[in-house]
């Protein structure tokens, strides 16, 4: 599972992957860099770090704190991506789904063929 960037604000954490395209257009204009460069390393420059942090604070409704060299790595953090890891066909499957061995998926009150348990 890959990691992704997130920003810690006073009112919670914002994952950069949740920024909208309109947000990315704004960041491109503010940072003078293409969005994918900013997203791949949000604090590669002080300018980028400042604008990404301010946008994340806007998303959570928090007042931006002062970023220093001491706290920058507590503000910009990598977190495990929250995408599903188990798929059935092309559809994501929830991890907490109970697995039933030998179930045909047919309801027990069905008049159709039933799966016999293995001995």
H/E element, 6: strand 3-9
Compare 105 and 77 and report the one with higher pLDDT.
77
pLDDT in tens, 43-94: 999 999 999 999 999 999 999 999 999 999 999 999 988 666 666 776 767 6
Return the pLDDT at 118: 64
The Cα 84–Cα 90 span in angstroms is: 11
- Look up the pTM and report it: 0.69
Task: For the chain, give every domain's residue range.
Answer: 33-82
pLDDT tens for 32-43 read 999 999 999 999
**CA–CA gap between residue 15 and residue 80 (Å, rounded):** 10
Token pair 């914002």 is at which residue?
14
CB atoms within 10 A of CB 9: 21
2-30 average pLDDT score: 95
pLDDT at 24: 97
């Amino acid at each position: 599972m890959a990691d992704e960037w997130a920003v810690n604000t006073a009112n919670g954490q914002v994952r950069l992957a949740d920024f909208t395209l309109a947000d990315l257009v704004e960041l491109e204009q503010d940072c003078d860099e293409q969005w994918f460069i900013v997203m791949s390393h949000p604090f590669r420059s002080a300018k980028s770090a400042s604008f990404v942090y301010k946008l994340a604070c806007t998303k959570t409704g928090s007042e931006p704190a002062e970023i220093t060299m001491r706290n920058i790595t507590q503000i910009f953090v990598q977190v495990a991506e929250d995408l599903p890891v188990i798929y059935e066909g092309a559809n994501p499957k929830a991890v907490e789904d109970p697995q039933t061995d030998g179930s045909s998926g047919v309801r027990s009150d069905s008049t159709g063929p039933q799966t016999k348990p293995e001995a």
